[in-house]
């Protein structure tokens, strides 16, 4: 699994002009799932995200977690995070999980993050053509890959 986590002051996801998910302060997360991902990868990533301290404290240091700022999460699936650009100019997506494998993991991530942070996770719609709007605060952007834990 790969996640791009952006610290935001606001973010929203729209589909055909209708908002499917919207948050104020929190994390805008793009999540890529590949065929080799497991429940263990999911749990590890969810724990890391929920405890990540990238919000500023009174001294301007990144010491506060999502719960400390009463933040929320907007989680959007993005198969293009596993794009291969080695050959030619058209990316290949063979590492991206097919929907029958990816959707259950995406839904489980929504549930697990919701339990960990104690609030409803805002989302996009898996496989939809989505428009994302956000204000990246900082800017702060963290890239995580469950295959690179060490």
Write out pLDDT tens, residues 46-89: 999 999 999 999 999 999 999 999 999 999 999 989 888 888 89
Percent of the chain whose pLDDT exceeds 90: 87
Give the number of domains in the chain. Answer: 1
Marked catalytic residue, from 38, 80, 94, 146: 80
The chain-wide mean pLDDT, for the chain, equals: 95
For residues 11-32, give the mean pLDDT. Answer: 98
Percent of the chain whose pLDDT exceeds 70: 99
Would 31 be classed as within a structural domain?
yes
Q: Tell me how far apart the alpha carbons of residues 85 and 79 are, in angstroms, rounded to a whole number.
A: 14
97: its two tokens? 């999980």
pLDDT tens sequence across 113-133: 999 999 999 999 999 999 999
CB atoms within 10 A of CB 96: 21
pLDDT tens sequence across 83-118: 888 888 989 888 899 999 999 999 999 999 999 999
By the 8 A CB rule, do 95 and 34 touch?
A: yes
By the 8 A CB rule, do 134 and 3 touch?
A: no
> Which residues form the domain of 25?
2-145
Would 150 be classed as within a structural domain?
no
Catalytic annotation on 80? Answer: yes
30: CATH: 3.50.80.10
DSSP per-residue letters across 35-70:
TT--HHHHHHHHHHHHH---EE-TTS-EEE-TGGGT
Would 59 be classed as within a structural domain?
yes
Q: Count each helix (H run) and each strand (E run) in the chain, helices first.
A: 2, 8
At 87 the pLDDT is 87
At 92 the pLDDT is 85
Would 22 be classed as within a structural domain?
yes
Q: Helix, strand, or coil here: 99?
A: helix
């Amino acid at each position: 699994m790969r996640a791009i986590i952006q610290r935001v002051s606001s973010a929203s996801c729209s589909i055909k002009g209708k908002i499917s998910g919207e948050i104020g302060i929190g994390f805008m997360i793009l999540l890529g799932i590949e065929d080799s991902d497991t429940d263990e990868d999911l749990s590890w990533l969810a724990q890391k995200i929920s405890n990540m301290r990238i919000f500023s404290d009174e001294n301007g240091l990144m010491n506060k977690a999502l719960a400390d700022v009463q933040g929320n999460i907007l989680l959007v699936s993005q198969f293009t995070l596993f794009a291969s650009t080695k050959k030619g100019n058209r990316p290949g997506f063979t590492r991206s999980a097919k929907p029958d494998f990816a959707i259950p993991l995406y839904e489980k991530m929504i549930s697990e993050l919701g339990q960990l942070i104690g609030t409803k996770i805002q989302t996009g719609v898996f496989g939809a053509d989505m428009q994302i709007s956000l204000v990246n605060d900082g800017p702060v952007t963290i890239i995580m890959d469950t295959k690179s834990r060490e």
